[in-house]
Structure 1
Amino acid sequence: MARSMSAHCSKLTTTLVVFFLAWSNHVPEAAEGAPSWFWWPPSGGGGDDPNCLSWRVMVEANNAKGWRTVPAPCVGYVRGYMAWGQYYRDVGSVVDQAAAYAAQVAPADDGLDAWVLDVDDTCLSNQPYYQAKQFGPYDPAAFKMWASRGICPGIPAMQWLFQTLKGRGFRVFIVTGRDEETLGSSTPANLAAAGFSGYDRLVMRGSGSRGQSSMVFKSAVRTQLAAEGYRIRGNVGDQWSDLQGDCVGDRVFKVPNPMYFVP
């Protein structure tokens, strides 16, 4: 198959520079009013607090549930984790595992072997938005304003995985909790601009699914795909609610996200 993610990561430094330059072109508006330390790594790279590392492990293990904001002492830690290398290495490791698994699964000729990918902080990064608000509580109106601009950067390792899956012959469905009425035009445009073109279907929340938890909504979408005959071979998301419920797929892959929690 295509080159491994390990080989791909040899170009990670260059990719991150490109990512940062694209990101920095958009951040000033999103980050208006952000403190001066917004632009620079915190002392120690934000990774020296063992208590915050333990908190992040609890988040990724789904032992910390229902939290609304990053704990105040850990804001610098999360900022450093997300912006200065470790996050990208961790995403790359997840993608390595997903690609290795995909290489072992031969899609059938009927075209019904599929993968499901989430959007926010799986394919597209909202790091500039959350970092500018110091990882504060979710604000639906403010987030819709950010997402409607269609400038969320693509996450490089996930762009590679997406192309790898398509190249292997899998059907790829992108399922997001974003509202179709308000973000139905900006989201596909943003995905295309970020390198996610050629997916088989983008499924967003309609009026009938507003108010549902993410797990209930995404379970229903996957159940419908299964009813259409699709075999969900893999499922990738940044929230456990992306990966739990009905018809989750043969394998699930959790992308790290210590910025927020979605039930």
Structure 2
Amino acid sequence: MHLLPFSLSLTLLLLLLSLSLAECRPDTFNKRQSHQIHPLRRQTGSAGTTTKVENLSCSSWQLAVETNNLRDWDVIPASCESYFGHYLLGHRYREDSSMVTKEAAQYARGLQLSGNGKDVWIFDIDETSLSNLPFYSKHGFGVEPISETLFDEWAAKGAAPPLPESLKLYKEVLSLGIKVVFLTGRTEEFREITALNLKRAGYYSWEKLILRKANEVTITALQYKSAERLKLTEQGYKIVGNIGDQWSDILGSPEGERTFKLPDPMYYIS
């Protein structure tokens, strides 16, 4: 075995140390986070160390939510606000979303389309096509009960940015000759501003934009979206894909040839 000269070993050690320090520098971190949906703001008293709190693992709570084992909940645990703030504004939320949309894109590329112009992919809007993190970051990431009045005021601005991973999937789907249908729980009064917001965010074309009518506001999201998908199939459309952040977006017949669930630990819609 040949040992490196002491001077060379010391040089290599110093080089490795300098690289490690550079990786941890704030400017390096900021470069990696340059494509955030919403700017990361450090929260007082939190540095990602609140993964586990007394009698509650926030990551386990999140897993139960995303697997639909925990249902009909109103707000996230108050002690998990910092945990979810770091998850949503950091890199992990984007990575989790990317895993979903990359798999969806691979599936889409392997489809044999009908060729009649009736193959469609359904996209939910809120927390799927558009991100409301600028709004929820000011309201505890789901700790506070959702105020419909405040959210409607936010939606009326038409300023929601796209979820970048979903926008990539949208462009991929269109390039393959699949038409896009936006199916949202927003009501008809928001049609014009929602269409404007979608176009501002980069969603420039779609086959249909479906919003709730006045007589549909009393039924559940699952009932409403299932019924709208059924109408599409009755009109001759084939739903080759369906993506949303809520289980109510993708459950209920006809759900589509294949469904994809994006992460969303902030709220639950049945």
Task: Report how far residue 19 of structure 1 moved.
Answer: 4.2
Is the Cα–Cα contact under 8 Å of residues 100 and 262 in structure 2 kept in the other structure? Answer: yes
Q: Name 2:90's counterpart in structure 1.
A: 84
Looking at structure 2, the residues matched to 15 and 178 of structure 1 have their Cα atoms a distance apart, in angstroms, of 34
Q: Name 2:34's counterpart in structure 1.
A: 17
Unpaired runs of 5+ in structure 1? 1-12, 25-37
Unpaired runs of 5+ in structure 2? 1-29
**Aligned partner letter, 1:125:** S
Q: 1:127 aligns with which of 133, 155, 158?
A: 133
* CA 62–186 in structure 1, closer or farther in 2 if over 3 Å, else same: same
After superposition, residues 37-116 of structure 1 pair within 5 angstroms as 39-40=41-42, 43-45=46-48, 48-49=51-52, 51-116=57-122
Looking at structure 2, the residues matched to 73 and 47 of structure 1 have their Cα atoms a distance apart, in angstroms, of 8
Looking at structure 2, the residues matched to 207 and 239 of structure 1 have their Cα atoms a distance apart, in angstroms, of 22
Q: 1:226 aligns with which of 230, 233, 241?
A: 233
Q: Does 2:147 match 1:139? A: yes
Identity of aligned residues (%): 34
Looking at structure 1, the residues matched to 157 and 96 of structure 2 have their Cα atoms a distance apart, in angstroms, of 28
Q: Does 2:181 match 1:173? A: yes
* CA 202–106 in structure 1, closer or farther in 2 if over 3 Å, else same: same
Looking at structure 2, the residues matched to 106 and 189 of structure 1 have their Cα atoms a distance apart, in angstroms, of 32
**Aligned partner letter, 1:223:** L
Task: Report how far residue 114 of structure 1 moved.
Answer: 1.1
Q: Name 2:4's counterpart in structure 1.
A: none
Q: Name 1:150's counterpart in structure 2.
A: 158
Per-residue CA shift, 1:121-176, capped at 9, x if unaligned? 00000112112111211111111101000000101111000000000000110000
Q: Does 2:246 match 1:239? A: yes
- Which of the pair has more CA radius of gyration? 2
Task: Report how far residue 207 of structure 1 moved.
Answer: 1.2
Partner of 1:77, secondary structure, is helix
Looking at structure 1, the residues matched to 49 and 204 of structure 2 have their Cα atoms a distance apart, in angstroms, of 35
* CA 15–104 in structure 1, closer or farther in 2 if over 3 Å, else same: farther
Looking at structure 2, the residues matched to 143 and 122 of structure 1 have their Cα atoms a distance apart, in angstroms, of 16
TM-score by length of 2: 0.83
Is the Cα–Cα contact under 8 Å of residues 219 and 247 in structure 1 kept in the other structure? Answer: yes
Looking at structure 1, the residues matched to 49 and 86 of structure 2 have their Cα atoms a distance apart, in angstroms, of 4
Per-residue CA shift, 1:2-43, capped at 9, x if unaligned? xxxxxxxxxxx87952445xx46xxxxxxxxxxxxx821563
Looking at structure 1, the residues matched to 202 and 124 of structure 2 have their Cα atoms a distance apart, in angstroms, of 15
Is the Cα–Cα contact under 8 Å of residues 50 and 80 in structure 2 kept in the other structure? Answer: no
Q: Does 2:170 match 1:162? A: yes
Per-residue CA shift, 1:206-256, capped at 9, x if unaligned? 112111111011011100000011111110000000011121001110000
Task: Report how far residue 63 of structure 1 moved.
Answer: 0.7
Looking at structure 2, the residues matched to 85 and 99 of structure 1 have their Cα atoms a distance apart, in angstroms, of 21
Partner of 2:129, secondary structure, is coil
Looking at structure 2, the residues matched to 180 and 113 of structure 1 have their Cα atoms a distance apart, in angstroms, of 25
Per-residue CA shift, 1:94-142, capped at 9, x if unaligned? 0011011101102221011111000000000011211211121111111
Partner of 1:57, secondary structure, is helix
Per-residue CA shift, 1:61-104, capped at 9, x if unaligned? 00111111110111111111000110000000000110111011
Task: Report how far residue 44 of structure 1 moved.
Answer: 3.4
**Aligned partner letter, 2:222:** M
